[in-house]
Chains A and B, each alone.
Chain A
Amino acid sequence: MKRRIPIAVFFVVGQFVAFFLDGSITQLLSGTLFKYPNTMVPCLTMMWLILAAFFGNSKKLHLTAWAAIVGFIFDMYYTGILGVYVFIFPLVVYICQSLYQMLPPSFLSGFLVYFLGITVLMSLGFIANAFIGQAPASASQFLVNTLAPTLALNLVFLAVSYFPVEALYRTHR
Chain B
Amino acid sequence: MQKFFSSRKLVIVIVCLIISFGLMTVSVAIRNKRSTPPLIQQFGNDIVGFADRVVAVPMNGIQHGFVSTKNLLNTYQENQRLKSKVDQLAQTQVKDQTLERENKQLKRQLNVGNTLTGYQKINAAVITRTPSSWASQVIINKGQAAGIKKDMPVIAGPGLIGTIAEVNKTNSKVVLVSNTAENSNRFAIQIVGSDSKVVNGIITSYDSQANRIVMGNITSKAKLTKGDRVSTSGLGGVIPKGIYVGTVAKIAEDDYGLAKKVYIKPAANLNDIEVVSVAVRD
- Where the two chains meet, the residues of A that have a C-beta atom closer than 8 Å to any C-beta of B are 16-17, 20-28, 30-31, 34-37, 39, 41-43, 73, 76-84, 86-87, 125-126, 128-129, 131-136, 145-146, 150
Contact = CB atoms under 8 A, between A and B. Distances in A.
Nearest to A133: B182
A80 B55 contact: no
B133 A146 contact: yes
A131 B24 contact: yes
B49 A41 contact: no
Contacts of A135: 134, 180-181
Given A41-B133, A128-B20, A131-B24, A24 B209 contact: no
B181 A133 contact: yes
B24 A87 contact: no
A30 B132 CA distance: 11
A134 B134 contact: yes
Contact of A76 (B48, B55, B135): B48
Contacts of A134: 28, 134-135, 181-182
Most buried by B among A34, A84, A126: A34
A138 to B, nearest CB: 10
A172 to B, nearest CB: 23
B10 interface: no
Nearest to A147: B133
Contact of B180 (A125, A131, A136): A136
8 contacts: A16-B51, A21-B55, A23-B52, A25-B59, A37-B210, A76-B44, A79-B137, A81-B31
Interface of B: 16-17, 19-28, 31, 37, 41, 44-45, 48-49, 51-52, 54-56, 59-60, 62-63, 126-135, 137-139, 165-166, 173, 180-183, 208-211, 269, 271-273
Given A36-B209, A78-B131, A79-B135, A28 B27 contact: no
Contacts of A136: 134, 180, 208
Contacts of B22: 83
Contacts of B211: 36
Contacts of B60: 24, 27-28
A12 to B, nearest CB: 13
A23 to B, nearest CB: 3
B130 A83 contact: no
B27 A31 contact: no
Chain A interface mostly = helix
B45 A76 contact: yes
Contacts of A133: 28, 181-183
A49 to B, nearest CB: 14
A132 B129 contact: no
Given A20-B56, A21-B55, A37-B209, A73 B48 contact: yes
Nearest to A135: B134
B131 to A, nearest CB: 4
B181 A83 contact: no
B26 A31 contact: no
A86 B23 CA distance: 10
A75 B54 CA distance: 20
Nearest to B205: A136
Contact of B19 (A25, A73, A83): A83
Given A23-B129, A80-B27, A36 B210 contact: yes
A24 B56 contact: yes
B27 A77 contact: no
Given A132-B24, A134-B181, A24 B165 contact: no
Most buried by B among A16, A22, A83, A84: A83
Contact of B27 (A24, A81, A87): A81
Given A37-B208, A37-B209, A77-B44, A27 B138 contact: yes
